[in-house]
Copies of this chain bind each other. A is one copy, B any other.
Amino acid sequence: MSGYLDRNWETFPMHKLMRVDQPTTKIVPDKIRRVTERESGFCKAAAGDYGDRLQKEFRRFVPKFPISGAIAWMRDNMQPFRDGHTAAKTAPLPDNPIQLSRHIKETAYFLRADSVGVCELPEYAVYSHGFSFKNMDAGETPTRLQHKNAVAILVDQDERTNHAFAGNDWISNSMSMMSYATSGFIAITLAEYIRRLGYAAKAHYAPYYDVLVPPILLMAGLGEMSRIGDTVLHPFMGPRFKAAIVTTNMPLHPDKPIDFGLQDFCARCKKCARECPSGAISDGDKVMHNGYEKWPVDIKKCATMRVGNQHGSGCGTCVKVCPWSKPYTPFHRAINWTMRNVPVARRFGIWGDDLMGYGKPDNAQKWWFDLEDKNGDGFLSIPRSYRK
């Protein structure tokens, strides 16, 4: 289900958002050099680019906490099922890509996605080369993916846990892993369904992507690029989600990008930059980088904080403190509407968010036990607890 036992055909009123022809982040496709997976912060950490200590930490930073470890184990179990046999004959479906897009989205919502969008797969969003930190000996291998369209499937990282945690304590990685594994489960099932309809389809989810996620989310109208580096922000979940992608040759009608005023909001707010424990997020202006105009981020600082964190597992402080990371209650929906539609109200919203104490951990809601597998031998002990 979509995140609601009582839902409309989509979980959130995405159809009420302003649609635009181009993403609010300037993209110059001609200037974009296709990137290789190896360039991501995690791959660099795994490959030793950030030093021996971080390379060693990389192997344990998810399994050192048993919830993230168990979810990542399940996520990895599903990896062999990302692709499969396509039926030899296409099914007798309506000859209308708009209807097919709606149907594929409805199916993803039925499988309990929280937000779904469709776009043409931009060539620049396909990795030039893949790199597996589970099989680094294989090196970089050219990506072969000829699919025309992409379906993006978002899963919330759990608002309740986001409210409870400090940003970089022991549960942090588990929130990512839960959304990775759950969106992966949905994408794998959806891709198999599309293949049964007679169209090639492949599921991509962390860390098994042939594609770069952020441009797909922008083109599929699921969010705008935010100040948090390379992170697309959803109008109703904020940055509190992970995405899986299904690429396919099924004829689908693309969604259009959205504009809900985030470029103006992020230009003013800067709360993520202020609270980032690693100083990775810039409080300055946007810059052009590889054909995208966006706020810069220091991926080395970010990866070092997340992988090397000795007082927790991972880090999602930016997700925790973002004023858009709120529950979907009537009160917050009203504020959300105002932030999207009344530009002059934004400065008061940003001021009010701090004033109300949002972004602080709520210890009364903490439901997990701090535990650490210190030596990678499966023996759990109580770590020095970390609280801001």
Contact = CB atoms under 8 A, between A and B. Distances in A.
B6 A88 contact: no
A327 B6 CA distance: 5
Contacts of A6: 159, 327-329
Given A66-B193, A77-B78, A378 B87 contact: yes
B193 A70 contact: yes
23 contacts: A4-B4, A5-B156, A6-B327, A6-B329, A8-B160, A9-B365, A66-B197, A67-B193, A70-B196, A71-B189, A77-B78, A77-B81, A78-B78, A89-B380, A91-B369, A92-B371, A92-B380, A92-B381, A110-B161, A110-B174, A110-B178, A196-B378, A198-B380
Interface residues of A, number: 67
A114 interface: yes
A111 to B, nearest CB: 6
Contacts of A73: 189, 192
A144 to B, nearest CB: 24
Contacts of A337: none
Nearest to A87: B378
A367 interface: yes
Sorted nearest first, the 4 A-B pairs with minimum C-beta distance are: A106-B367, A6-B327, A70-B193, A66-B196
Contacts of A80: 77
A1 interface: yes
A289 interface: no
Contact of A11 (B5, B81, B182): B5
A328 B182 CA distance: 23
The listed residue with most B CB atoms (<10 A of its CB), out of A66, A78, A382, is A66
Contacts of A111: 71, 178, 182
Contact of A189 (B161, B181, B328, B379): B181
Interface string A9-32: 101000000000000000000000
B193 A160 contact: no
A248 to B, nearest CB: 13
A5 B161 CA distance: 11
Contacts of A87: 378-380
A377 to B, nearest CB: 9
Contact of A182 (B66, B81, B112, B159): B112
A7 interface: yes
B156 A67 contact: no
A185 interface: yes
Contact of A91 (B66, B89, B196, B367): B66
A365 B91 CA distance: 22
A237 interface: yes
A372 to B, nearest CB: 10
B7 A103 contact: no
Contacts of A94: 369
Given A73-B189, A196-B380, 9 more contacts: A5-B328, A7-B159, A7-B160, A67-B110, A70-B196, A74-B188, A77-B80, A92-B382, A112-B178
